Structure 1
């Protein structure tokens, strides 16, 4: 270290590695802030939270902006489990294949970003109606999975 007047000039700064920092640094952008292009799984982007990582605050999810090309994650274990449950209920209740396809699309919308331990409220499921999908049968499947938080007002309350 040498001194020039009152300013101290140090040697070169050490290189800082950012690859070991938390996941929020790489959510679809490279280090310069440019949007990355390609398959999210190929890029290593996780679409649900790491188990044990708590949310900073509770925000209601907006499923009306869902696009299959960018948001769909059919490999999510919860999507696979929900689709299997929907097929079993459809077989028991005699749903048409059109209704099953509609419920299957709604389950993909709802569970693509699902983290382990998350629950869905009925008011969140109602948003798939704006996408043209069936709400009541989708809620039936989510209730069968034990993940429905029914926040509808009680009709017979005092």
Structure 2
């Protein structure tokens, strides 16, 4: 009987963990496609070639996924480009990718300004070698209080930054502002 209870407990734990588990897979796929189209990162390039190549990739992905309708899939987050805002509803995910960073250190700020949803955040980087590495993670609690969370990312020069946020609530929203500088 003890073995059955232990196995049941392990199964429940595994289910709970997988339901809350988060990763950068969706952003990593788009980052890899961007590297393939964009080519190797060089410190003396400008952002224009990257922007020109990433927008059609992202737009094509969104069009295929939604048959030309809603904007789904990873979104572009420009470093030093100001705030992006949005809302994540019940158990859905939002992913952002940046261009390759020209700086070794990037400050990423996420402001939860409304909503009650418990929301997990995972931040990864991907180099031109296609290797995706998780840098940090955080969970915004299930409460109404507005909250800013600042992530100081180090050693990101020449890497694409991927930010994945997942609403872990069934019926609550997570309204956010995100910026990278």
Q: Check whether TM > 0.5.
A: no
Give TM-score, length-normalised by structure 1. Answer: 0.25
Structure of larger gyration radius: 1
Task: Report which of the two has the higher share of helix.
Answer: 1
Q: TM-score, normalised by structure 2?
A: 0.23
User: Which structure: greater strand fraction?
Assistant: 2
Structure with the larger RCO, 1 or 2 (CA within 8 Å, 6+ apart) = 2
